[in-house]
Structure 1
Amino acid sequence: MNQVSINTEGIIFDLDGTLIDSMSAWENIGSDFLRKHGIVPPDDLNETIKIMSFAESARYFIEVYGIAMTEEQVGDEINGMIRDNYARHIELKPFVREVLNRYFNQGIKMGILTATHKSLTELILERFGLLDHFDFILTSGMTGLPKSQPEIYHRAVSQLNIPAQQITIFEDALYCIRAARATGCQLVGVYDEASKNDWDEIQKLSDLSIMSFKELL
């Protein structure tokens, strides 16, 4: 396994699939939600909603499937369905804690940019004693922007008050890496099983790529 050295003053981390091993928990949440409301989900539902923000997927369920709820109610119900996983079951990816502790002790400013609700993000980071490592948490719900849009990455970069050239972004999803490319930050592609079919393209678009956080130690 290669050792990867990152020279940076600030880091923006994705959460799900990057720092935590949670993509399997989300894999069928949309289908489970529709079934809960008596609707048989289509086979391609995951592909349809995977690049949507929470608000966009809630709007999609309401408009396409006639769910008689507000966007906020849909979001709250889905968060409630998955909350127990964040509170008890989902784990950090191997060596993430050690890497985050090292960067924190080196005084590197760090933030989280995620499509996951802020309450769930805080819940799992607090569970592992890592919440205080981060200068900010920015979510799609807070900005109204999906992570397929470069604008949300520009907003995250501005939170660090560091030139983009001195910031590194860690992502596991191809569509996120494409969007983050516009910032001018260094990009690190992180391997995740959920994105394995895109791994070759992720490696091409990233400045660095890692199979495991162990490579950063």
Structure 2
Amino acid sequence: MTRVMEGQLTRDEDPLVIDGRVNAGRAVLTARGELVHGCTRVLTQRLAALPASTSHVELDMAGVVFMDTAGLQFLEALVAYGLRCEVPVAATHWTGQPRRILELAGLDTDDPLHSAHTRADSRGPGPVPSAVSLERAEQLLGLREEVEQLRHALDSRPVIDQARGVLMAVHSCTPEQAWHILREASQLSNTKLRTVAAAVTDSATGPAPPHEVRSALRAAIDRHR
């Protein structure tokens, strides 16, 4: 039995980890994390580490919790490995959001590699996309943008809350008033809300905000007094 060591080829910052074992030529791998930018590289490195005697590759996807369009490249890379090495490959046990993305992309959720194989092995221009496939592609793009917006909001929330606390302490305003002050200052100075919030937070112990942000904050504060 050959052991594929966990983390051997994957950097700590990679959103995807693939580990597993090889027994009698059969590679049973387990994927955990997210199929996003960089996941194809992780897969390629893991497959390259398999012994030359590998005769079958099975990838368990139950531990994958999120997938965007990079996941389709991931599937095509797995198919390409199977064709190049002439070994059967499989990616099974899709659940949750990744399974939904496969559905929106028009892939078989039980055997998505079949459709990916068709794409990778195509030698000419593909068929004209149907209205259904175009709609699914648009939905997929919308989901990806929504996820990115949510992630950005989560990243921005701590500094915004800190800025509200500074405004409440310095200007004796309510939490709701502090929020409106930040939002109006962002609009008046044509500056991102997170940037305004960071400037307010930094001003508590460091330099004052830039002139345009400072003027916008003053106007917003005066209006809400």
What TM-score, normalized by structure 2, do the two folds share? 0.26
When Rg is computed on C-alpha atoms for both structures, the one with the higher figure is: 2
Name the structure with the higher strand share. Answer: 2
